[in-house]
Structure 1
Amino acid sequence: MGRKKREPLNPEKKNIIAELIKTYEIKTAQDIQDALKDLLGDTIQEMLESEMNEHLGYEKYERGENTNSRNGYKTKRVRSGMGEYEIDVPQDRDSSFEPQIVKKRQKDISEIEQKIINMYALGMSNRDITSQIEDIYGFELSEGMISDVTDKIIPKIEEWKYRPLESVYPVVYIDAIHFSVKENGSVKKKAVYVILGISSEGYKEILGLYIGDTESSKYWFSVLNELKNRGVRDILIVCADGLSGIKEAISSAFPNTEYQRCIVHQVRNTLKYVSYKDRKEFANDLKTIYHAINEEQALANLERTSEKWNEKYPNSMKSWFINWDSIIPIFKFSPETRKVIYTTNAIESVNSQLRKINKKRTVFPNKISLEKSLYLSIEKISKKWSMPIRNWGYIYGELSIMYEDRL
Structure 2
Amino acid sequence: MTSKKKNTKKNGKFQLENLLANDSENLLAEILQLGLQQLMELERDHHIGADPYERSDQRRTSRNGYKPRQLYTRVGTLHLRVPQTRDGEFYPSILERYQRSEKALVAALAEAYVQGVSTRKMAKVTERLLGKEFSASTISRFSAELDAELEAWRTRRLSGDYPYVKIDARYERCRRDGIVVDMAVLVAIGVSEDGHRHVLAVETGWGESETVWSEFIGGLKARGLQGVEMFTSDAHPGIRKALQAHFPGTPWQRCQYHFQRNTFDKAPKKRQDELHQALREIWRRGNSYRQAKARLGELIDRLEEPLPDVADWLSEQAEQTLTVFQVAPPTHRRRVRTTNAVERLHQELKRRSKPVRIFPNPQSCLRLFGAMLKEQHEDWITGRRYLKMKQLEEFKKKRKSSSVDPPKKIHQPAMAE
TM-score by length of 2: 0.65
Instruction: Pick the aligned partner of 2:390 from 387, 393, 396.
Output: 393
1:356 aligns with 2:331: no
* Alignment partner, residue 360 of structure 2: 365
Out of 267, 277, 287, the residue aligned to residue 293 of structure 1 is: 287
Q: Is the 8 A contact 1:130 1:142 kept in 2?
A: yes
The 1:321/1:132 distance shift into structure 2, 3 A limit, reads: same
Alignment equivalent of 1:384, drawn from 379, 383, 387: 379
- Within the candidate set 161, 186, 190, 2:179 is matched to 186
- Partner in structure 2 of residue 159 of structure 1: 152
Aligned pair count?
A: 313
% identical equivalent positions: 24
- Whichever of the two has the greater Rg, that structure is 2
Note the C-alpha offset of 1:352: 1.9
> Whole-Å Cα distance in 2 between the matches of residues 115 and 153 of structure 1?
15
**Higher helix fraction (1 or 2):** 2
- Aligned to 1:252, what secondary structure does the other structure show? helix
State the match for 2:369 in structure 1. Answer: 374
Q: Following superposition of structure 1 onto structure 2, how do residues 58-137 of structure 1 map, counting pairs within 5 Å?
A: 105=80, 107=95, 109=98, 120=111, 123-137=116-130
Counterpart among 142, 166, 176 of residue 173 in structure 1: 166
Could you say if the C-alpha distance between residues 238 and 111 of structure 1 is closer, same or farther in structure 2, counting changes exceeding 3 Å? closer
CA distance in structure 2 between the partners assigned to 1:218 and 1:200 by the alignment = 30
Deviation of 1:243 (Å): 1.9
Give the superposition deviation at 1:289: 2.2
Measured against aligned partners, the alpha-carbon deviations of 1:52-79 in whole angstroms (never above 9, x if no partner) come to xxxxxxxxxxxxxxxxxxxxxxxxxxx9
Indicate how the Cα distance of structure 1 residues 145 and 117 shifts in structure 2: closer, same or farther if over 3 A, else same.
closer
Amino acid at match of 1:142: S
Equivalent position SS for 1:361: coil
> 1:375 corresponds to which letter in structure 2?
G
Counterpart of 1:330, as a letter, is V
Aligned-residue RMSD, C-alpha? 3.5
- Counterpart CA distance in 1 for 2:208 and 2:310 is 25
Partners in 1 of 2:178 and 2:105 — Cα distance? 33
Mapping of 1:275-290 within 5 angstroms? 275-290=268-283
CA distance in 1, matches of 2:72, 2:400: 61
Aligned residue for 1:323, secondary structure, equals helix
The one-letter amino acid of 2:279's match is L
Q: Indicate how the Cα distance of structure 1 residues 244 and 99 shifts in structure 2: closer, same or farther if over 3 A, else same.
A: farther
- What do residues 261-310 of structure 1 show as CA deviations (whole Å, max 9, x unaligned)? 11111112212354444322221112222237334433333233234345
**317 and 369 in structure 1: CA distance in 2 versus 1, 3 angstrom threshold:** farther
Matches of 1:162 and 1:237 in 2, distance apart? Answer: 22
Instruction: Please give the alpha-carbon distance, in whole angstroms, between the structure 1 residues aligned to 2:186 and 2:278.
Output: 32
How far apart are residue 402 of structure 1 and its match?
5.0
| More off after superposition, 388-397 vs 162-171 | 388-397
Amino acid at match of 1:194: V
Contact (CA 8 Å) 2:278, 2:299: kept in 1 or not?
yes
Q: Would you say the 8 A contact 1:240–1:261 is kept in 2?
A: yes
* Residue 111 of structure 1, CA deviation: 9.1
Q: 1:348 to 1:251 in 2, by over 3 A?
A: same
Q: Return the offset for 1:397.
A: 3.4
- Between 185-194 and 136-145, the greater mean CA deviation after superposition: 136-145
Output the amino acid matched with 2:124: S
Q: Partners of 1:403 and 1:154 in 2: how far apart?
A: 47
Structure 2: which 5+ runs fail to align?
1-38, 40-66, 82-94, 402-417
Structure-2 change in CA distance of 1:290 and 1:115 (3 Å): same
- Aligned residue for 1:232, secondary structure, equals coil
C-alpha spacing 1:295/1:153, structure 2 compared with 1 (3 Å): same
Q: 2:200 pairs with 195, 200, 207, which one? A: 207
| AA partner of residue 360 (structure 1) | P
Aligned residue for 1:181, secondary structure, equals strand
Identify if the C-alpha distance between structure 1 residues 208 and 103 changes in structure 2 by more than 3 Å, giving closer, same or farther.
farther
Cα distance in 2 for residues equivalent to 1:178 and 1:187: 12
Aligned to 1:322: 316
- Could you tell me how far 1:196 is from its partner in structure 2? 0.4
Stretches of structure 1 lacking an aligned partner (at least 5 in a row): 1-78, 80-94
Give how far 1:238 is off. 0.4
Q: 1:118 to 1:129 in 2, by over 3 A?
A: same
Q: Which residue of 2 aligns with 1:3?
A: none
| Displacement after TM superposition at 1:181 (Å) | 0.9
Q: Give distance in 1, aligned partners of 2:307 and 2:132.
A: 64
Q: 1:263 aligns with which of 256, 263, 285?
A: 256
Contact 1:270/1:317, CA 8 A, preserved across alignment: no
SS in 2 for 1:205: strand
Gap change, CA 1:380 and 1:266, over 3 Å in 2: same
Per-residue CA distance 1:112-132 (angstroms, 9 max, x = gap) = 899777653655232221121
Q: Paired residue for 1:17?
A: none
CA contact (8 A) 1:200 1:396 kept: no
Distance 2:397 2:224 in 1: 21
- Offset at residue 357 of structure 1 (A): 1.7
Q: Distance in 2 between matches of 1:219 and 1:112?
A: 42
Q: Secondary structure, in 3 states, of the residue corresponding to 1:360? A: coil
Q: Distance in 2 between matches of 1:114 and 1:319?
A: 57
